[in-house]
Chains A and B, each alone.
Chain A
Amino acid sequence: MEATATPSTQEEVKPGTAKVTVAEVTLRKFEVSDVDAMMAWASDPQVAAPCRWDAYESTEPLLAFIRDVVLPHPWFRAICLESGRPVGAVSVSPTGDPCRAELGYVLARAHWGRGVATAAVKRTVATVFAEVQRLERVEALVDVANPASQRVLEKAGFTREAVLRKYSAVKGIVRDMVMFSFIDTDPVPE
């Protein structure tokens, strides 16, 4: 599983659910002991639907993913709320150019609709440029058919640059993707 840039987080506020503030959302590095918390979203077919990976059915392959991909990754963070327990993940992954990296994020369905993803992405762009050498551009690709995820990026201050046609193959289907970017000189929204 990678935290891809095509999550289907719903940002419409559910009745009776308050939006989180950026202060209530924190990012930290993952540990192997987070595997159970991670299963909450990694095993959810609805979360996995727009992603490259299939829902996990057991913790063994997820443990392997944490060990082999997450822990050695240059920038992979757990999205945490007040309890400190991860409710999702956000990552910024290297590309062919050292000046540009790709954002991905995923959130457990129980926490959709409260602005958690938006807060996590704001936190990310506020810190990642200082933490990754030579990085000047964070980009994100979102399926044209995923307006909720596009709104997360717009609210987090990303610029919508282009629709790249037939750009990505996800689960066997080639899709048009919207390219968003946040560069190091862009202002971080509150």
Chain B
Amino acid sequence: MEVQQGGAPAPAAELVVSLREFTLSDADAEAFMSWASDPRVVRFQRRDAYEHVDQARRYIADHVLPHPWYRAICAGAGAPLPVVGSISVKPGPAEDGRLFRASVGYRVAHAHWGRGVATRAVRAAAEAVFAAWPWLLRLEAVADVENPASQRVLEKAGFVREGVLRKYILLKGRPRDMVMFSIVVDADTDRRRQQNKPDGP
């Protein structure tokens, strides 16, 4: 951002954030390591920090590629845009044999925190899954009570804060209080989804 003499600062270049599928490439595995090996990022994840790129390679092959919805977050400058994080949406749990819920989780490399990357990625993911899964009525996410940055991401991405669930999830051996957030389909969002269908209303 340039500050012009005696005038308003020039507007910052628009941050480009896009989502794409992961590949089995070395580049994707190395990018994965940039957050998966960082204790600051994995602090609020069940998993311990990775120590070797082979762990990332294996995780991409065994977990990411077969996953129902897992994307690389690309952001910054250059073509192709560098991979700076990941976001995944897990359908379920099914109840009475019916799928209607899903939950979203995301991780961004520390170097790219504080620039709105996660907020844009979460918004894009929410739009994508509500469009792709007509059965989806509720998209939820939890954030640790001690992770206000993540709580802000979800709020800015349009999630509603529903409440604090005490000792809800075991994180690295300790039960954590988590804030629950959700976006639900109502009559209005359902109408918009119908209008966006490719074969028309």
Whether A136 lies near B175 (C-beta < 8 A) is yes
Q: B93 to chain A: closest CB distance in Å?
A: 8
Whether A169 lies near B184 (C-beta < 8 A) is no
Binary flags per residue of B89-107, CB closer than 8 Å to A gives 1, else 0: 0000001101011000000
- CB nearest neighbor in B for A100: B168
Known: A97-B169, A136-B167, A172-B96. A166 touches B162 (CB 8 A): no
Q: A77 interface residue, CB < 8 Å from B?
A: no
Whether A168 lies near B95 (C-beta < 8 A) is yes
Binary flags per residue of B147-166, CB closer than 8 Å to A gives 1, else 0: 00000000000001011111
Which residue of B137, B168, B175 contacts A166 across the interface (Cβ within 8 Å)? B137
Question: How far is B169's CA from A17's CA once the two chains are assembled, in angstroms?
Answer: 42
Question: How far is B95's CA from A170's CA once the two chains are assembled, in angstroms?
Answer: 8
Whether B96 lies near A170 (C-beta < 8 A) is yes
Which residue of A52, A97, A166, A168 contacts B185 across the interface (Cβ within 8 Å)? A166
Give the interface centre of B98, B160, B167 by most chain A CB atoms within 10 Å: B167
Whether A99 lies near B167 (C-beta < 8 A) is yes
Q: B138 interface residue, CB < 8 Å from A?
A: yes
Q: Please, which residues of chain A bring their CB within 8 A of the CB of B163?
A: 161-163, 179
Binary flags per residue of A144-170, CB closer than 8 Å to B gives 1, else 0: 000000000000000101111111111
Q: Please, which residues of chain B bring their CB within 8 A of the CB of A45?
A: none
Q: Please, which residues of chain B bring their CB within 8 A of the CB of A114?
A: none
Q: Please, which residues of chain A bring their CB within 8 A of the CB of B101?
A: 166-167
Q: B180 interface residue, CB < 8 Å from A?
A: yes
Query: For the complex, would chain A's binding face be called helix, strand, loop or mixed by DSSP majority?
Result: strand
Whether A162 lies near B162 (C-beta < 8 A) is yes
Whether A99 lies near B170 (C-beta < 8 A) is yes
Which residue of A97, A136, A165, A179 contacts B184 across the interface (Cβ within 8 Å)? A165
Question: How far is B166's CA from A159's CA once the two chains are assembled, in angstroms?
Answer: 10
Q: Please, which residues of chain B bring their CB within 8 A of the CB of A165?
A: 138, 160, 162, 182, 184
Whether B165 lies near A181 (C-beta < 8 A) is yes
Whether A164 lies near B96 (C-beta < 8 A) is no
Q: Please, which residues of chain A bring their CB within 8 A of the CB of B175?
A: 97, 99-100, 136-137
Which residue of A162, A171, A174, A179 contacts B137 across the interface (Cβ within 8 Å)? A174
Whether A169 lies near B162 (C-beta < 8 A) is no
Whether B100 lies near A169 (C-beta < 8 A) is yes
Question: How far is B164's CA from A139's CA once the two chains are assembled, in angstroms?
Answer: 13
Whether B165 lies near A162 (C-beta < 8 A) is yes
Which residue of A137, A168, A172 contacts B167 across the interface (Cβ within 8 Å)? A137
Whether A164 lies near B170 (C-beta < 8 A) is no
Known: A99-B175, A162-B180. A169 touches B98 (CB 8 A): yes
Whether B165 lies near A161 (C-beta < 8 A) is yes
Q: A61 interface residue, CB < 8 Å from B?
A: no
Q: B87 to chain A: closest CB distance in Å?
A: 20
Whether A164 lies near B180 (C-beta < 8 A) is yes
23 contacts between A and B (CB under 8 A): A97-B175, A99-B170, A100-B168, A100-B169, A137-B166, A137-B168, A159-B166, A162-B165, A164-B140, A165-B160, A165-B162, A166-B137, A166-B182, A166-B185, A167-B101, A167-B138, A168-B95, A169-B98, A169-B100, A179-B163, A179-B165, A181-B165, A184-B167
